A = this chain, B = another copy of it.
Amino acid sequence: MIGGGQLSRMTHQASVALGAGFRVLAQSANDSAAQVVADTWLGEHDSRDAVVSAAHEVSVVTFDHEHVPLTILRELEESGVAVRPASSALTFAQDKAEMRERLAVIDVPQPRWAIVESSTDVEEFVEKWPVVLKVSRGGYDGRGVWVCHSLHEVEAVMAHELKPGVRWLIEECVPFTRELSAQVARSPHGQMVAYPVVETVQTNGMCAEVIAPAPGLEESRSAQAQRIAMTIADSLGVTGMLAVELFDTGAELFVNELAMRPHNSGHWSMDGAVTSQFENHLRAVLDLPLGSPAPLGAWTVMVNVIGGDYPDMYAAYKHCMARDPGLKIHMYGKEVRPGRKIGHVNVVSDDLDDALRRARHAAAYLTGTIEE
């Protein structure tokens, strides 16, 4: 797995049970995954030599992020290495403009969008303010995305110089009432499993909370979201996990973004589903039969633990464990920095309010925003 972040760390946990050898290419020995994985190689994900060396003699190469240059992946593929998801699929996760173009072809519902090069283009596009301006490549966790309320704001953003190959993308602001995520795993055989559709709550463009399954989602709407995710996985030839982030307006669904890897919106599955997204990602990329995505309880709530002002979390960690023996805490081994994702907590319960209250309390206490 290229990338030594927490997704790699948690995929490692799944690889242990499967008995699958697991190698990670991390930037530093202090990376979240590098701390725990025996077979850790150090190197940059955008260094051709580092990636090619680490990929030597492995059965399959996969990723914990979207940032490996396609040129490197194509070289691997040409030399006979199995890259999953393949560069031909990954390009749509790397480039939001390509993704929009492709989703239009396969007729998946998405916000009205356009490629723009100037504020004049934007003016022509806009029917109603605000609009969303994005860079086509390189953004994540809210970076590279701006909600603009006027042409003036658009011009300020577009004053940034774009890197080569990056385009400006503009999208209507869909009047959504909530955001959903539909996750599927797909193997090279084409076997697919769909996880329950979840509700995601974003804060500052970053996933903060996930409720599985999405409360009050009608079965037909849930099935539609799963169908959209399966259509995309199949049409784009995705292997491994695919997360499709969706806007729910109450009346319609629109595709917001894609991720072709385990995703923050699937962390609930570690404690709340028969097979976690990490295990199914591995099973998919290794072309093993997929595991059941069935939920283990009525509700699972996941809340991210965000770094706060206090670097020493030990007292808070003990307090949360003592207060709630049913809490599932997942720490990423990261140094605490304000605003940084450093872990998450899951609570499985028959009662949604109970799960929400307990998971939110623990995350807030660990972050340091509450003290009792």
Are B19 and A290 interface neighbours, CB within 8 A?
A: no
In the complex, which residues of chain B have a beta carbon less than 8 angstroms from the beta carbon of A331? 17-19
In the complex, which residues of chain B have a beta carbon less than 8 angstroms from the beta carbon of A16? 9-10, 12-13, 36
Are A296 and B296 interface neighbours, CB within 8 A?
A: yes
Q: How far is the CB of A358 from chain B (nearest CB, A)?
A: 12
In the complex, which residues of chain B have a beta carbon less than 8 angstroms from the beta carbon of A326? 274, 291-292, 294
* Contact residues, A1-54 vs B (CB, 8 A): 9-10, 12-13, 15-19, 21-22, 34-38, 40
**Given A37-B38, A283-B321, A321-B283, A17–B329 Cβ distance below 8 Å?**
yes
Q: How far is the CA of A290 from the CA of B326 in the complex (A)?
A: 10
Are A291 and B325 interface neighbours, CB within 8 A?
A: yes
Does A240 count as interface, using CB distance less than 8 angstroms? no
* Contact residues, A306-360 vs B (CB, 8 A): 317-318, 321-322, 325-333, 343, 348
Q: How far is the CA of A16 from the CA of B330 in the complex (A)?
A: 8
Q: How far is the CA of A322 from the CA of B326 in the complex (A)?
A: 32
Q: How far is the CA of A372 from the CA of B145 in the complex (A)?
A: 54
Does A239 count as interface, using CB distance less than 8 angstroms? no
Does A104 count as interface, using CB distance less than 8 angstroms? no
Interface centre among A36, A326, A331 (most CB of B within 10 A): A36
One of B10, B15, B18 near A329 (C-beta < 8 A):
B18
Q: How far is the CA of A288 from the CA of B333 in the complex (A)?
A: 17
The 3 closest A-B CB pairs, nearest first, are: A19-B331, A289-B322, A289-B321
A-B contact pairs, 29 of them (CB 8 A): A9-B16, A12-B36, A15-B36, A16-B36, A17-B328, A17-B330, A18-B329, A18-B331, A19-B330, A19-B332, A19-B343, A22-B36, A35-B38, A36-B38, A38-B40, A193-B325, A274-B325, A274-B326, A274-B348, A288-B318, A289-B322, A289-B325, A290-B325, A291-B321, A291-B326, A291-B327, A292-B325, A292-B326, A296-B348
